Structures are given as C-alpha cells and as structure tokens.
Amino acid sequence: GESVGLHLPTLSVQEGDNSIINCAYSNSASDYFIWYKQESGKGPQFIIDIRSNMDKRQGQRVTVLLNKTVKHLSLQIAATQPGDSAVYFCAESPGNTGKLIFGQGTTLQVKP
Amino acid sequence: DGGITQSPKYLFRKEGQNVTLSCEQNLNHDAMYWYRQDPGQGLRLIYYSQIVNDFQKGDIAEGYSVSREKKESFPLTVTSAQKNPTAFYLCASSMQGNTEAFFGQGTRLTVV
C-alpha cells in the first residue's frame, strides 16, 4: 500500500546547528509533497511544499529537497532554534484530490 | 481573522453514544478534510469533501459520518459503531486539491 515514512523517530540537535529531517515515500504517482510542523496539542502548521517537477525549494531558514530517483524527501532547517522543537511530518498527495498521506513523524529536540 | 475553527477542544463521550465534532472555515476553501491522529502516529484520512453536497470516504471511514451542506462547515459524527474512538481529530481545508492545507487546532475525544 501507499506509505510515507521518516527515517528517525527522534532527532536531537544543538541550538544554532543545522537540522536535516528525512522522509522516504513509496507512491511514484505523487506530485505534491509537504512538510508540516506540529507542536504538542495543536494542529499541524504548513512549513513548505514542493511539486514533483522541482528538486529543491527554499523558504525562510528551511529548504526542501526532493529526489524522485530514490523517492526521498528531506527538510533542512538552518540555525535551529528552541522554537523549532516539535514533531515534523512529511506528507504526499497522489492525484489531485488534496488528500494527504502522512508519515509517522520525527520529533526534533533542540538543546540549548 | 480568517481561519479554520474546531470545537470543542476537549470532548468526553460515554460508550455507545454518538457525538458530533464541529469544523468551520471562513477561508472560502472548496475542499475540507477530517483526519484522525493516535498517540505517536501520523494523521490518517477519515473523510474528505471537494465541493458542497459531495464527500468521499478516506482510509478509515468506518464508524464515522459527515455532511457538507454549506461550504464553510464540515461536521464529523463519531458513531457508536466506531470501536476505538478515543483520538485527536483534526479538520483541514484547502482551496483545491494539491494546494496548501490549513489545519484547525483539533478536538481531543475521550470515551469514558
């Protein structure tokens, strides 16, 4: 079946370092990928998205990389701050319905 | 302020009772979605609606029902047929398929 997975359940980084969160997806038909941040007890917040015709997209302090050859998605956070501590989910959207298939999530812990 | 609102934030239900979770958006979005999140897990799609008076089952629709009589509203009913209803329920909306989805703050349902 379709699935989206993340390589590590927890990532611990030092404040100021860069963070890289990885995700593997399985549906080659997906043409839209998104990263969400979820803080405890809250709904997910959109971080950045990328379409399958791109391999890189940059936002403010964040970069998403898409490697369709190996079905791999990554989120890079520059100069990680304590406020970045949260659970990060990647999601893919096959077709054009807007339905999202979520991975399990990676917990990012930022050490002061 | 524009946004998507879920109510209530916490809900307790006795076994065997139906309960309805509210989701309202004033973003003028066509598409709306309901997801379920269990502890330490990603989100799973229950139902979605791309247009008023139309909706489709997601991956885990059994024991749930929805209606979409108005563009702004997409209530979810958790019926007594849902065997394990205790979870965190998240509603989302997007302009169309494969565009940024905005999430509400969630409703935590506990069966007592």
In this prediction, residue A1 carries a pLDDT of: 33
Please give the average per-residue pLDDT across B8-19, as a whole number. Answer: 93
> Is the pLDDT at B15 greater than 60, yes or no?
yes
In this prediction, residue A26 carries a pLDDT of: 82
The C-alpha atoms of residue B53 and residue B96 are separated, in whole angstroms, by 16
Please give the average per-residue pLDDT across B10-24, as a whole number. Answer: 95
B44/A100 Cβ within 8 A: no
Please give the average per-residue pLDDT across B28-32, as a whole number. Answer: 94
Reported confidence tier of residue B44, pLDDT bands at 50, 70, 90: very high
Reported confidence tier of residue B57, pLDDT bands at 50, 70, 90: very high
The C-alpha atoms of residue B5 and residue B98 are separated, in whole angstroms, by 21
Smallest CA–CA distance, residue A79 to chain B, in Å, is 25
> Is the pLDDT at B9 greater than 80, yes or no?
yes
A-B CB pairs within 8 A amount to 71
* DSSP code per residue over A47-100: EEEEETT-SEEE-SSEEEEEETTTTEEEEEESS--GGG-EEEEEEEEETTS---
Smallest CA–CA distance, residue A64 to chain B, in Å, is 15
Q: Are B9 and B106 in contact (CB under 8 A)?
A: yes
Residues in chain A with pLDDT values less than 50: 1-2
Is residue B16 within 8 angstroms of chain A, CB to CB? no
